[in-house]
Structure 1
Amino acid sequence: MHSNAVNRIMPLWIAVLPLFTLLCVFIGGALFTELGGNLVVVAILLSAVVAGLIGYARGIKWQSMEKAAVDKFADVFPVVLILLSIGGLIGSWMLSGTIPLFVWLGIALIDPQYIYVSAFVAASVMSLFTGSSWASAGTIGVALMGLATVMDASLPITAGAVISGAYFGDKMSPLSDSTNISAIAAKADLYEHIRHMIYTALPSFMIALVIFAVIPVNQASDSIDAQHATQAMQIMIEHVFLPAWWQMLPPLLIMVAIVKKWPPVVGITLSTLLALLLAVGLQPFSVVDAVNAYLHGFTLDMLPASQQHDAATNTAFVKLVVRGGLYSMVGTLVVIIAAFLLAGAMQATGALNVIIQSMLKAVKGTFSLVASTLVSGVTLLSLTSHGGVSSLIIGNLYQPAYTKHNLANVNLSRSIEDSVTLLDPLLPWTVSGLFMATTLGVATIDYLPWALFCLGGPLFSLLWAALATRSGFGIRRLKLQTES
């Protein structure tokens, strides 16, 4: 059936039809419906239906599309395990008082007027030393979001600052998986790759730093009511979680695990267990509370009856502590599965290959090559939801083109980072986008305009490519092995 259809070369307009559907449903749904978080699932599933119908018309069997989806999910299964384990980590760190300790210290040390730039710098440092944007956002990022709530600061701006800092460190750290994979994909030296990224990372970092430093925080932060709110939060944390030095042990264990290069799930699980043991041994919580915090997150009914009423009346405290748990990530998994149904159909029909090859054919010079790499990177990322897989595919497909245009491999590795790595948290249906939105409690579409560092990378990458024929700044030629 349809044997002739399956052998025909797919027209480009048909290949992009599922992506066009995704974009139209997502934008139209946001403007004309009130689906909220369900819009992402609806948009992806409808796009998957369109891709499936295209496959059926071309004689592709359902089993082939299903297998492609399963294979892609298998590729990201380790990442899914990390996603689930961080949900448990947040619940356990809340029960032990680790995250409340960070908030308690932040109230004492950070001026409310500098909460945004403080969030940006703190996340940058954490991610630079750990090489993990997820670890940075899932630990210090959660605490900073709680601090922003207390200080009456904008949560979308704070989330954008956290994500910007987290991805700056992730991009520039030799410990980062994405940085290493990008270098490997382009067959570039790791440290040469990091040095070459300075051309796009440094100006993006400086612009973000200045903007986050000058953005005014809600004027209510200076009011007597706001001061009373922060004092009430400090008192509540002291009364409930008994801040102490030992609450820093779980994050220290995470850092040890990263430096020792233990598997991420192992490090996160050990830190979670340590936090639960500390909560049961040194905090007024039971073993049952520990299990429930790990599975469902922290809840106010875990507190002694004498504290529950005061805690419930403090809205900022409730927003800070009632979160986390393994099951908090289940909704994210539904979106991931839907995304892989779309990706499987796109791959099985050959639509993905048609799109990438069309982009390569349009390459005329340095600018169009870099632009094509960026677009291909974000296209693959949107369909695979896996930065590593996307990076490796782009590196393999584009390396001959960079050599043909006399461009060193570090240009390709940087272009991969500036598309795949930096735009990953800005797509609502990717694993990273879902993780950031779920962990920080802010919808992707809300924090996207404030993820300044992530937006700056692709823009500066295009700028240096556009100026390549005039100045050569920021572009390394293959025959000239020193920076232009």
Structure 2
Amino acid sequence: MKKQQEIQVPFFLAIIPLIVMVGLMAITIIKFEGSPHVPLIVGAAVAAIIGWRLGHKWGTIEEGIYKGIRLALPAILIIIMVGLIIGAWIGGGIIATMIYYGLKIITPSFFLLSICIICAIVTLAIGSSWSTMGTIGVAGMGIGLSMGIPAPMVAGAIISGSYFGDKMSPLSDTTNLAAGITGTDLFEHIKHMFYTTIPALVIALAAYYFLGRQFSGSTVDSGQINDILATLQENFVISPWLLLVPVIVVVLVAKKVPALPALAVGVFLGWACHVFVQGGNVADAVNTLHDGFAIETGNAMVDELFNRGGIDSMMYTVSLTIVAMTFGGVMEQTGMLRAIVNQILKIARSAGSLIASTIASAFLTNATASEQYISILLPGRMYVQAYRDKKLHSKNLSRALEDGGTVTSPFIPWNTCGVFILSTLAVHPFAYAPYAVLNYAVPIIGIIMAFLGWKVERLTDVQVKELEEREMQQSKEIL
């Protein structure tokens, strides 16, 4: 039996599980309108069989599955917490208050621009695009739909703003992960991302400004908005004091309180508002946390928006996350993802092509492993030596990982991010993709800059030598 670490996977075998999974995924989702769970399970089974035939023991393959699922546990906890907070904030009238005052203040022509900026600011403060989309995003969808703006446009603006903040916030897990895996100083990494992310944000805001012009006051059904405002007032206690709840959550995370405890405070405050402000009984408030909020107002749009939330609403996302990480875990543990990335490396002969290959690899990993964390971790580990060989600073690698991994994850319907957005904003990735301007502008700008050689930082011979000596010293200390 070959030693596990010596097993080499031929490229043509490595792509078989991917081809099988993607093929079944297309048939299942497009033709049968089914869920992506079974194609991912079949893809994982095919990968496991190939790995076993190549000499991997089942125990090794199983450990890869567990590693993948363990990697997803923080995301699963956030998913559950977001389900809780959506139910609590709807029941507590917080989402209704956000929508009410949003309809009062924001004009339709500037709504897309405004919601993008608001989501960017909030995510910069809390470091979590998912938390922003699950709270501010849900409210924003209600406001936008009330103004007659198509759901895909609203979702695209929310996603662009949320991922800008997620990418640039020092509190973001993906930002810290990209810096950490490449050995780059966190704030050096963030400053280097300015060159691709700020221009992309400017492009996105310009797009939302011009898209929003078609939704001027003359095209908005003011009667419908007035009906919604009246419905909200009839069924909820609307008060600006309720806006203190999201403010408190933002302040807690800005003060570096971990996301889970901060969101837990938001859940408790929302539950308390449900009982003490909205006048709900304790039993209903507790059940809302699990089953979601239920209401019949007679207004179809209000009912559609507010009948949601709770832990139960997130179980589809949780199950898909586990299945996706099973597939990704087998692919990584058996060396198949590594074989695919190594094949891509063969065409990376220049600094520009290496950076472009990194961005493409991160996107490919998003599509195959179905998880943005792996899209940063795997290419990050694989490309470190290649960047050093070309005397490229590690911050080029960390930026490329985020340009290709973090922001492209919402475009993959079976990726955990795509699934989360679908379950939270109720818009399919294929529908909002054209309007998530920042998310596709960033990798395009990154690739263009790479080939132009602009803001591609290089290492001197002295810096390379110092880096190698430092790593050698660190290895001795570990031993």
TM-score, normalising length from structure 2? Answer: 0.90
Identify the range of structure 1 (7-16 vs 164-173) with the bigger mean alpha-carbon deviation: 7-16
Contiguous gaps of at least 5 residues in structure 2? 463-479
Aligned residue among 63, 70, 74 for 2:70: 74
Match of 1:350 in 2: 335
Instruction: For 2:400 and 2:252, locate their aligned partners in 1 and report how far apart those are by CA, in whole Å.
Output: 30
Corresponding position: 1:45 with 2:26: no
Change (3 A) 1:11 1:396: closer
Q: Count residues in correspondence.
A: 462
Please, which of 148, 161, 175 is the counterpart of residue 165 of structure 1? Answer: 161
Residue of 448, 456, 459 corresponding to 1:478? 459
The CA deviation at 1:389 is: 4.8
AA partner of residue 156 (structure 2): G
Distance 1:321 1:218, change over 3 A: farther
Contact 1:146–1:319 (8 Å) recurs in 2: no
Q: Distance in 1 between matches of 2:103 and 2:341?
A: 49
Question: Which residue of the partner structure matches residue 20 of structure 1?
Answer: 19
Q: Deviations over 1:351-409 (max 9, x none)?
A: 12212222233320112211221122233344554444543443333222212212222
- Alignment match, 1:178: 174
Within 5 A, what are the aligned runs for 1:238-249?
238-249=233-244
1:334 to 316, 319, 325: 319
Which among 443, 450, 459 is matched to residue 444 of structure 2?
459
Matched, 1:270 2:260: no
CA offset at residue 422 of structure 1? 0.9
Structure 1 residues 299 and 8, CA gap change in structure 2 (3 angstroms) = closer
TM superposition outliers: structure 1 runs of 4+ over 6 Å: 2-8, 217-221
Aligned 8 A contact 2:18 2:368 in 1? no
**Aligned CA distance change for structure 1 residues 222 and 420 (closer, same or farther; 3 Å):** same
Matched residue, 2:286: 291
2:146 counterpart (147, 150, 166)? 150
The aligned amino acid for 1:447 is: Y
**Cα distance in 1 between the residues matched to 2:45 and 2:344:** 25
Give matches, 1:56-455, under 5 Å. Answer: 56-216=52-212, 222-223=218-219, 226-300=221-295, 308=296, 311=297, 313-455=298-440
Going from structure 1 to structure 2, the CA distance change for 1:254 and 1:384 (only over 3 Å counts) comes to farther
- Which segment is superposed worse, 386-395 or 70-79? 386-395
Given that 1:72 and 1:384 are in contact with CA atoms closer than 8 Å, whether structure 2 keeps it comes out as no
Please identify, of 234-243 and 155-164, the stretch whose mean Cα deviation from structure 2 is larger.
234-243
Q: Distance in 1 between matches of 2:195 and 2:281?
A: 52
Alignment check: 8 A CA contact 1:132 1:176 kept = yes
Aligned-partner Cα distance in 2 for 1:215–1:347: 42
For residues 265 and 60 of structure 1, the distance between their equivalents in structure 2, rounded to whole angstroms, comes to 37
For the residues of structure 2 that align with 1:414 and 1:4, how far apart are their CA atoms? 35
Question: Which structure 1 segments of 5+ residues have no match?
Answer: 301-307
Quick check: 1:152–1:221 contact (8 Å CA) kept in 2?
no
Distance in 1 (CA, whole Å) between partners of 2:66 and 2:377 is: 19
Return closer, same or farther for 1:13/1:255 CA change in 2, 3 Å cut-off. same
Match of 2:33 in 1: 35
Q: What is the CA deviation profile of residues 10-69 of structure 1, one whole-angstrom value per residue up to 9, with x for unaligned ones?
A: 2201101111223323334454x1314x1x223322322321332243243444322211
Give the share of equivalent positions with the same residue, in percent. Answer: 32
